[in-house]
Chains A and B, each alone.
Chain A
Amino acid sequence: MKIKYCIYSFFISLFLSGCDPLVTTFDDVEDAVMYQSNMLIEYPAKKSINVMTWNIRFGVARLDFALDACGDRVIISKSEIISGLEGIAKKINDTNVDIVLMQEVDVQSKRSSYVDQVQWLLNNTNMNYGAYASKWKSQIILADGIGRVDAGNLILSKWKLEDPKRYQLPLRGDQDGLTQLFYLRRNVVTAKVDMPGTPFYAVNAHLTAFATDDTKQKHISGFKNILDDIVDSGSNFVAGGDLNALPPNATKTDYCLDDQCELGTYHSGKEEEHREGSYFTPEINWLNDLYGVYEPAITLEQYGMNEPEHFTHSPGHKPLLDRKLDYLWTNTSWSNGKTHQDATTLSDHMPVTANWEVE
């Protein structure tokens, strides 16, 4: 009887563990996943906190990845991923940042040879804690041999993170149901940074890049609502991310021809006039609300005086930076805002840093 019980218990436990969904969906608000470094370092409180936002392109640097560039590779070898991460870790350590808001981080993706990039970065930088939120989690993506994927947003911190939350943003409204099921689930991840004496919130977002309807506007609005709630609760925040939107005073808003992989694909009177994610003209004012209420690390005046100096992105196959998509925000004030264009070989997005002055 006891043996039978053990056998049944064994199989029931296996059944339960075998019930992982094919595609992971998320609640509107749920806990983010906490990580910590293998070796913790104690940091005292600071008056000026160095904050970075960086879309690290899952450590593939400028390799010709097929899905966001014009390349022919989907699976990147482990040695190439580790090499890419080493460059990113060196930049983080050299910059001596205290908080990093990171986008496009893989934890269990075939495309990046299943390297847990969150744990790797924690173990190879001066950061102690991480809060991770998946934006794309599926046992299989049935396209291009992508296979298994778990990619998302990450907050890295020298100080302990508390109450990490993942806020689901609306799904793209311009996709059919099947595509939407297997597509990205954009989110905002927040965590309370327990800096001794002066806790504050870190907020990280990666908004839609390719939606052709008003999804991006909803994402910007959702991001701002989260910031508003933090301020309403009497707290301060450092926020940022890859908003996939241009500053309202950007002089160029149409990148269809720059981003096309084959000449004559767009602006040629064919069915698809504009390239998804490259035509910003109709949405150029969508960041006005954020600029109107909160303090950017790079002000519109600074940006307008010398646009190229603040460009943060160019598509994977073109290292010459040509647009600003990455931002830092706070409800108080920044100093020394800087776009690190020397990192152009490390990702298709450049890190933006600034010092947050603790009030």
Chain B
Amino acid sequence: MRVAYFLFFFSFISAQWSSKSAYLLEKNRKEVGIFTPFKMGMKNGSELSINKFLLMPSVSLKQEMPIFNSWKMARKFRIEYPTPGLKWIQSPLGGEMGDPNMFSLISTQFTIPQMLSFYTEMIGTKGNVKSGQLSLSAGLGVALNGKDLSNDATIDLPIIYPRLSTYYNDYVIISGAEYLRQLYERIYYLIDYDMYIMPGSEGRYAFEQQSLLVWQKSSRLNLSFGYKLVVGEYPFGGQAHLLPTINLKFGW
């Protein structure tokens, strides 16, 4: 009976809304969020994710794996092509040097080479949302052709710096955890963290901790809000940021 209950809750979560857990969207279910990529459950026990920001195309595939002890397991692969996006943020409004070039985050003095990055990640999930579901993940990202990108062309801001670090540092080690628990019928809370280790880089680490209150109105609408605390090292030194977070997801 406990197992059935357990499976019910997991199937509920996996069927309804995606998460960082090892559970996948049910096949043919699709979802998209304002700040999260488009995701789709596939027939072959996998989940496809595509970044909506077409100038920074990225595709990821999450695949189920056999259960390990009592841990539900999955692996995730992601490929990202940042070159058009990085070129765009050198001159978002099309201004030229001295105009001034408003909203530019990388100086046009730098050449953005053709680059690719590959990420691979293992995810394990245990427990259920009623009493608490824990997911752990660890992975590695590597970049191709990042050597041709100047180390002075970094964007030294929270969230962005660690996610682009692989192009400046050639590789990044990532780990994460997520704890999801049901509070009421449609209200959940979620606590997660992500850790980026960037050995050899001027900013060597970034720690991101997020707490969210999640309202799953239905299988079609999901609203979450909370905060993200980012503590990281940048080329100028260490700094902490506390940022509000909000997201609206639609599923069908």
Contacts and interface: CB of A to CB of B under 8 A. Distances in A.
Interface of A: 11, 14-15, 17-20, 66-67, 70, 72-75, 77, 108, 110, 113-114, 139-140, 142-148, 261
A140 B157 contact: yes
Given A19-B242, A139-B157, A14 B97 contact: no
Contacts of B44: none
A70 B96 CA distance: 12
B104 A144 contact: yes
Interface in B77-118: 90, 97-98, 100-110
B242 A114 contact: no
B152 interface: yes
Given A18-B229, A73-B107, A75-B152, A148 B102 contact: no
B149 interface: no
Nearest to B229: A14
A114 B108 CA distance: 19
Given A74-B109, A108-B236, A147-B156, A142 B103 contact: yes
Nearest to B90: A145
Nearest to A143: B100
Contact of B236 (A75, A77, A148): A148
Per DSSP, chain B at the interface is loop
Contacts of A15: 229, 242
B152 A143 contact: no
B239 interface: yes
Contacts of A140: 105, 157
5 contacts: A14-B240, A74-B107, A144-B97, A146-B107, A147-B155
B199 interface: no
Interface in B38-79: none
Contacts of B103: 142-143
Contact of A145 (B98, B106, B209, B236): B106
Contacts of A70: 98
Per DSSP, chain A at the interface is loop
Given A75-B107, A114-B235, A144 B101 contact: yes
B241 A261 contact: no
A20 B239 contact: yes
B153 interface: yes
A206 B181 CA distance: 57
A144 B242 contact: no
A17 to B, nearest CB: 5
Given A114-B236, A148-B156, A148-B236, A11 B229 contact: yes
Contact of A110 (B104, B156, B229): B156
B231 interface: yes
Contacts of B90: 145
Contacts of B106: 145
A114 B154 CA distance: 12
B240 A145 contact: no
A137 to B, nearest CB: 12
A145 B99 CA distance: 12
Contacts of A146: 107
The 8 closest A-B pairs by CB, nearest first: A145-B107, A18-B240, A74-B107, A18-B242, A114-B236, A143-B100, A17-B240, A144-B101
A143 B229 contact: no
B231 A14 contact: yes
Highest count of chain B CB atoms <10 Å: which of A73, A114, A147: A147
A11 B100 CA distance: 40
Given A19-B242, A75-B153, A148-B156, A261 B109 contact: no
A110 B161 CA distance: 14
A110 B153 contact: no
Contacts of B107: 66, 73-75, 144-146
Given A66-B98, A142-B105, 15 more contacts: A14-B229, A17-B240, A18-B231, A18-B241, A19-B242, A20-B239, A67-B98, A75-B153, A77-B152, A143-B101, A144-B97, A144-B98, A144-B101, A145-B107, A261-B98
A165 to B, nearest CB: 26
A145 B242 contact: no
A337 to B, nearest CB: 36
A232 B152 CA distance: 49
A72 B108 contact: yes
